[in-house]
Structure 1
Amino acid sequence: MDNEMTLSFVARSENESLARMAIMSFIAQLDPTIDELSEIKTIISEAVSNAIIHGYEGDERGIVTMHAVRSGDTIQVSIQDFGQGIANVEQAMEPLYTSKATLERSGMGFTIMESFADELAVDSAIGEGTSITFTKKISSVRTPVM
């Protein structure tokens, strides 16, 4: 492990941008490409918004925790809530499935996260919350020194 951080914040939608900015600062030394930055920001946005909307159902008293570890050119990030949990993770990860159709949710969050991450894991327990963990290798735009 080269570096590690943990950030906890209340489950308010405005804190989604806080989480994105924190992770961008955390990985800056790896010199990620624009595409990698965009992909990581999207994963963070999806995971945090899922925690707020689905985990806490908009209850702003909930806490979302983001934990990141940087090892070499790889980052691993976990977004965790302590909300209601997911009854059927496999079903929730199906493209176009949403439990919040009335909120105009697309049901593509997990699909998007999976497509941008090298690895994605979802752990959830009813009444205890959900943890989304992803791993991504950063290719770096730096020119190697010879």
Structure 2
Amino acid sequence: MEDKRMETKKEHLRLELDSLSQNEEFARVVTAVFMSRLNPTLEEIDDVKTAVSEAVTNAVIHGYKGEAGTIYMDITAQSGEETSLTVCVRDAGIGIPDVKQAMEPMYTTDTSGERSGMGFSFMEAFMDQVQVESEPGRGTLVTMKKFIGR
């Protein structure tokens, strides 16, 4: 008898961006276009775009404090029995001394009062899985996963 399970297929995209605020939009659009091969709903695309925007914005504003740096993105599309998109956003900036505290709603290191401190909360609300790893002086890695078609 023939095995009816779907073959799992993975595709990968790697992107390096300068830590400029206008690259947040570019990262969001590139991710949405890459994600489109998974046949997501508009809501799923919007969710991922919002989460990517927050992760890249955090790297620009908090990771590099507006200074020059590089933001690294790795995006993996997996189709098959469990269709998903995994987005990793990494910076080599100042890092986060207390990740647990930084992930609390309304927490921000921005003293100007212009930032709401909701970046990680939005990522968690719009993605199915979010993991943050950081070390002071070595940068931050945010790994987010969205299951498609659930």
Does TM, scored on the shorter chain, surpass 0.5? yes
Q: Percent same amino acid among aligned pairs?
A: 42
- Post-superposition offset of 1:103: 4.3
Counterpart residue number, 2:102: 92
Counterpart residue number, 1:71: 78
Compute the RMSD of aligned alpha carbons. 1.2
Off by >3 Å, runs of 4+ in structure 1: none
Counterpart residue number, 2:18: 10
- For the residue of structure 1 that corresponds to 2:73, the secondary structure is strand
- Post-superposition offset of 1:32: 1.1
Counterpart residue number, 1:36: 44
Name the CA distance, whole Å, in 1 between partners of 2:103 and 2:77: 26
- For the residue of structure 2 that corresponds to 1:76, the secondary structure is strand
User: TM-score scaled by structure 2?
Assistant: 0.89
- Asked if the contact 2:38/2:77 (under 8 Å) is kept, the reply is no
**Bigger CA radius of gyration:** 2
- For the residue of structure 2 that corresponds to 1:123, the secondary structure is strand
- Asked if the contact 2:92/2:140 (under 8 Å) is kept, the reply is yes
User: TM-score scaled by structure 1?
Assistant: 0.92
- Asked if the contact 2:12/2:77 (under 8 Å) is kept, the reply is yes
- For the residue of structure 1 that corresponds to 2:132, the secondary structure is strand
Letter in 2 for 1:35: E
Letter in 2 for 1:135: K
- For the residue of structure 2 that corresponds to 1:2, the secondary structure is strand
Counterpart residue number, 1:143: none
Consecutive unaligned residues of structure 1, counting only runs of 5 or more, are: 141-146
Name the CA distance, whole Å, in 2 between partners of 1:14 and 1:97: 24
